[in-house]
Amino acid sequence: MKNIVILISGRGSNMQALLEAQLPCRIAAVISNRADAEGLNIAKAHGIATAVVAHRDYPDRDSFDAALANIIDGYQPDVVVLAGFMRILTADFVGRYHGKLINIHPSLLPSYGGLHTHARALHDGVKIHGCTVHFVTPNLDHGPIIIQAAVPVLCHDTEQTLAARVLHEEHRIYPQAIRWLCSEQIELGASGQVVFHKRKQSAFTLISPGLD
C-alpha cells in the first residue's frame, strides 16, 4: 500500500475529504507550514501524525524547502499531496518529488493560475469556472492535468458562493485523482503528459447559461 503525505497551510477541507475518502493508501502524515492551521486539528482527530515546519523560521526558500523535504522523507511517501499549501516551492524541491507531487487549484487551468481565482473569474464574466488537480512542475500552476471539474457561474454569484460551488467539486475530484495514483491507474509519463492506464470518458456537456 502506498504512503502519502499531505501538506496544508490552513482550513484543510481538501485534506479532510482525502482522510474521509477511504483511499487505497496509508496517510502517513499531515505537515503544515503554519502551527495555527485549522486542518492540523482535523488530522489529529483522525489519528494522523502531524508536523509543523514553520517557513518563518528559515531565512530563505531553499533552507525552508530543504527542512520540509527532510521531514517529508522521514515518512517515505510515494505521493506528496498539496492541499491548500500556500508556499511557492523551489525547482529543487519539485524535482525531488517528480511524478509524485500533486496539487489542487481552484480554477480551470491554464486559466487563472495564481491567487484570487474566483474574483478574477467573476470580474471577467466567464460563464464556466472550476477546479483542477495536476502534477506539480517548476512552472507554477502549469503542471500536467489529471482531472478537472467545471461549474456554472450564476448571475448572482459572489466570490463566496462561487468558491463554495467550486470547493464542493474539489472535494470530489481530489480523492478521485489520489485514488487513481495510489492504484497505479495513472502516472506522469516521460513526455510530461499524464498517462491513463484505464481511461474513462465523460459524455456530458456543460452549457452556461443553459439553452432555452
Q: How many residues sit in the footprint of ligand GRF (CB under 6 A)? A: 15
Work out how close the CB of 211 gets to ligand GRF at its nearest, in angstroms, rounded to a whole number: 30
Per CB under 6 A, the segment of 3-11, 73-81, 122-130, 142-150 that binds ligand GRF is 3-11
| Cross-strand partners of 105 | 132
Transcribe 134-187 into DSSP letters: EE--SSTT-SPEEEEEEEEPPTT--HHHHHHHHHHHHHHHHHHHHHHHHTTSEE
Choice between 1 and 115, CB closer to ligand GRF: 115
**What contacts 43, CB < 8 A, 6 or more positions away?**
6, 12, 15, 19, 30, 50
Place of cell 492535468: 145
105 is catalytic: yes
- The values of phi and psi at residue 87, to 5°, are -125, 140
Closer Cβ to ligand GRF, 66 or 159, answer by number: 159
Told to check if 105 binds ligand GRF by CB under 6 A, we report yes
Among 77, 106, 130, 175, binds ligand GRF (CB under 6 A): 106
Asked if 130 touches ligand GRF (CB under 6 A), the answer is no
The residue whose Cβ lies closest to ligand GRF is 84
Cis peptide before 209 (omega within 30 of 0): yes
When asked if residue 14 is in the footprint of ligand GRF (CB under 6 A), the reply is yes
Of the residues 105, 118, 134, 171, only one is catalytic, namely 105
Q: Which helix (H) or strand (E) holds 62?
A: helix 61-73
Q: Known catalytic residues?
A: 105
Interface residues with ligand GRF (CB under 6 A)? 8, 10-15, 39, 83-84, 104-106, 167, 170
